[in-house]
Amino acid sequence: MKKLLQEREAFLAIAIVLICIAASIAWPGVFPTFDNLSQVLLNLSIDAIVAVGMMLLLISGSFDLSVGSVVAFSGGITAYLLYYCGMYPLPAVLIGMSAAALVGFINGYLVAKAGINPMIQTLAMMGIIRGAALMISGSGIQNLPADFNVLGQSNFLGLQSPVWVMLLVVFSFDFLVSKNIFFRRYYYIGNNEKAAMLSGIKVQKLKITGFILASLLAGLAGILLASRLGASLGTSGKGMELRVITAAILGGASLSGGEGRIMGALLGTIFMAVISNIMIIARVSGYWQEMVLGLILILAVWIDIVLKDPRGLSLKARFTKLKTS
């Protein structure tokens, strides 16, 4: 069992299959239907895109709490340019993505160059960008152009475009992080930043790039969400940062850095989406749903501490060592 838990991706895949089988038996006319499962995929697609960037940061030993605010910020800027300025979709999307990249650059520069703790920096940026998103979108920008809405509302093989974009992002980054030398260096930084620096790796440059990529993916998710809804809301992405961190840790990331795979982030997101869907079908109160997701985060971190302790000593082994010393 311990060996299976250490193979986090295999464990998650088995758990998802077993939970889906149980849900199909409990609600045979609701859960296993194509409409429900396609809706689950659609709902998790936005979180999964953001989780890819979060997994990359966690591999390097950092994280970003502002990604949820960037989702609202990027979507809000794009919607504002489309609705109030009459801009064509392509330049509006490019400006929205550029704004997201700028947020990532500021985060990365202040963390890597100025040495500000990632939690403090991104927590502050979360408030700043959320305020900016609320100022831009107000109570919401609706009635966006049809040629923009097609980005998030078009269908292929019965699945909406955000699902296909999610799969493209996940498989592309999984290949890059697994095979590309540039991205493999994030593991070295996460395992031992000082050793990586002494070996000639440009740690600061890679950290800044990681934050930019995470914000770019959050910006892409925000634009897709605005296109899918046909509207931009200043509250979009609220609480997303905790969901994607939980998904990444469930998928094999470690808070100490140096571990994890992009595919694990997808599996973690699927696991959480299935649990949420089951709770909705079972008519569990929204308050309880938040509590369950919080408990999943605590459980994921606890498993990470016990099974992937950076010093290679589990809690049980520490307790045994204390008793015998």
Q: How confident is the model at residue 10 (pLDDT cuts 50, 70, 90)?
A: confident
Token output for 84: 């109030």
Q: Given the structure tokens 């979709």, which residue do they identify?
A: 89
Does 291 score more than 60 pLDDT?
Answer: yes
Q: Is 109 helix (H, G, I), strand (E, B) or coil?
A: helix
Quick: pLDDT tens for 220-272.
999 999 999 999 998 898 889 988 998 998 888 888 888 889 999 999 999 99
Which uninterrupted H or E stretch holds 259?
none
Question: Can you say how many angstroms the Cα of residue 184 is from the centroid of all Cα atoms in its chain?
Answer: 19
Q: Which residues of 150-174 are buried (b: 16+ CB within 10 A; e: fewer)?
A: ebbeeeeeebbbbbebbbebbeebb
Q: How confident is the model at residue 2 (pLDDT cuts 50, 70, 90)?
A: low
Measured in Å, how far apart are the chain's first and last C-alpha atoms?
28
- The reported pLDDT for the residue numbered 100 is 96
| 300 class by beta-carbon count within 10 Å (0-12 exposed, 13-18 middle, 19+ buried) | buried
Determine how β-strand 155-156 pairs with β-strand 159-160: antiparallel
Q: How confident is the model at residue 308 (pLDDT cuts 50, 70, 90)?
A: low
Q: Looking at residue 115, what DSSP letter applies?
A: -
- The reported pLDDT for the residue numbered 319 is 41
Angle formed at CA 82 by CA 76 and CA 87, multiple of 5 degrees:
135
Per mean pLDDT, which of 101-110, 145-154, 299-308, 313-322 is the most reliable?
Answer: 101-110
- pTM of the complete model: 0.89
Amino acid, single-letter form, for residue 98: S
Quick: pLDDT tens for 262-288.
999 999 999 999 999 999 998 887 778
Backbone phi and psi for residue 160, each to the nearest 5 degrees, phi listed first:
-75, 160
What are the CA-CA distances from residue 150 to residues 70, 155, 164, 165, 226 (Å)? Answer: 22, 9, 13, 13, 11
Residue-range domains of the chain with CATH: 2-324 (1.10.3470)
What are the CA-CA distances from residue 273 to residues 136, 139, 187, 269, 324 (Å)? Answer: 30, 27, 28, 6, 44
